[in-house]
Structure 1
């Protein structure tokens, strides 16, 4: 039997139930109504053919359409905002949020291949590529001497023409001499390693954590500093378990979710 586990990172929300408790409101029933409304809103989006950044009808119109009070409707909308399905602009209204990009942890795919498989258009912008001396962490990761030259590649990943993630990649220079001469915006790094340097990557170890964007990271990703982000650190290796690449990816928390399979 196979179970699919989806991990979705959202900003935590505190619901203020005190006044409702005092009023004798049945919270279980209220939550059911709100959950049903959230599903109706999602169905409305799908059936109406609304796309990312399309505006929903006003709360007054929707509450009248479904025969519910505006407080209940507003809570359902807030729930969908927290889940990244909608977003609100004060004084303007509620809009359909861009679809979260699913990262399948059970598949070993390059970013380019994963986006292609999902039917999404991906682009890459290289910020910099340089040679540097390996620090203690990189030396330990790659089992090389301290000070050995490694490439540092910094690039932005775009999905559907929007900045999605900032990547910093390290690869030992002796494994792929002349890497900087390749078009790392148009070509997949994994494809270059495989086709030019005959290095086949088949395994990876990933560490995922929550983070908040610094001013520099936020400027690259086109969002405000302090916004939630997902930090993924990946060591990628060959079938013989030789580490080849170490990547730190900072992805926008509002655009990303992860899924895996437990057996």
Structure 2
């Protein structure tokens, strides 16, 4: 069994090398199994299992009756750096843009009142927006902030300007700490329509409370990111 796994791993690496050396991009089609089997002189069952491994890893995807294609690059969200979404994507060399879906003022429910240590019914703002990476929808964000901390926030261009930059430069709020909860969820019809995928697809749900150095909670964000485009990494010491 160990020998079989080694052969399969070597073949998966050959496929990855072929993709890079051939200059294939996201959604480009691979040659047929017959052609690849002949290229490396392996049987098609071994090749198919190597392809399945790469599909599981999100490097390839298959369409029934059509063939195997290069999957879009997964977007790494590292958990050891405190960075805004825009800064994290910029550090990875990725282009982003934002679409605002809605902005409204509302009364804090029990969850928000507890999160921000404010009275039930206190006014908060809710910002809903889509984050695009390389011109493809990647995540749906719902952001809450106490209105008293950000008067006039709606006057700023929340599609072109970084929210963290606005907080820092306009409201003199420096965010330095965050608490994150990460779980798997499945997209509703509305969420799927915003992200350009099918209802019921798996997604990554990240709930984040961000605070200042003196532990004042300022922002509560619920991010629903496409499961086919997202991965997380961290460093343990």
Q: TM-score range by the shorter chain?
A: over 0.9
2:46 counterpart (55, 72, 75): 72
Determine the structure 1 residue equivalent to 2:130: 156
Superposition pairs of residues 55-94 of structure 1, within 5 angstroms = 55-94=29-68
In structure 1, the partner of 2:160 is: 186
Paired position in structure 2 for 1:229: 203
Cα shift at 1:31: 2.0
1:58-207 maps to which residues of 2 (within 5 A)?
58-207=32-181
RMSD between aligned residues: 0.8
Q: 1 CA distance for matches of 2:70 and 2:10?
A: 18
Determine helix, strand or coil for the equivalent of 1:50.
coil
Q: For residue 82 of structure 1, report the CA deviation from its aligned partner.
A: 1.0
Q: How many residues align?
A: 237
1:28 deviates by: 2.9
Paired residue secondary structure (2:183): strand
Matched, 1:219 2:193: yes
The whole-number CA distance in structure 2 between the counterparts of 1:92 and 1:121 is 30
The offset of 1:123, in angstroms, is 0.6
Q: TM-score, normalised by structure 2?
A: 0.98
Partners of 2:68 and 2:97 in 1: CA distance: 29
Aligned with 2:232: secondary structure? strand
Q: Distance in 2 between matches of 1:29 and 1:217?
A: 44
User: d(CA) in 2 for partners of 1:81 and 1:217?
Assistant: 24
Q: Which runs of 5+ in 1 are unaligned?
A: 1-26
**CA deviation digits over 1:47-100, x for unaligned, max 9?**
111111111111000011111111110111111111110011122211111100
Which stretch has the larger CA shift, 84-93 or 139-148?
84-93
Cα separation, 2, equivalents of 1:219 and 1:167:
14
Q: Aligned residue for 1:256?
A: 230
Residue 36 of structure 1 and its aligned partner are, at CA, apart by 1.2
Which residue of structure 2 aligns with residue 37 of structure 1?
Answer: 11
Structure 2 gap ranges (5+): none
* Distance (Å, rounded) in 2 between the aligned partners of 1:34 and 1:226: 32
Cα distance between partner residues in 1 of 2:186 and 2:120: 30
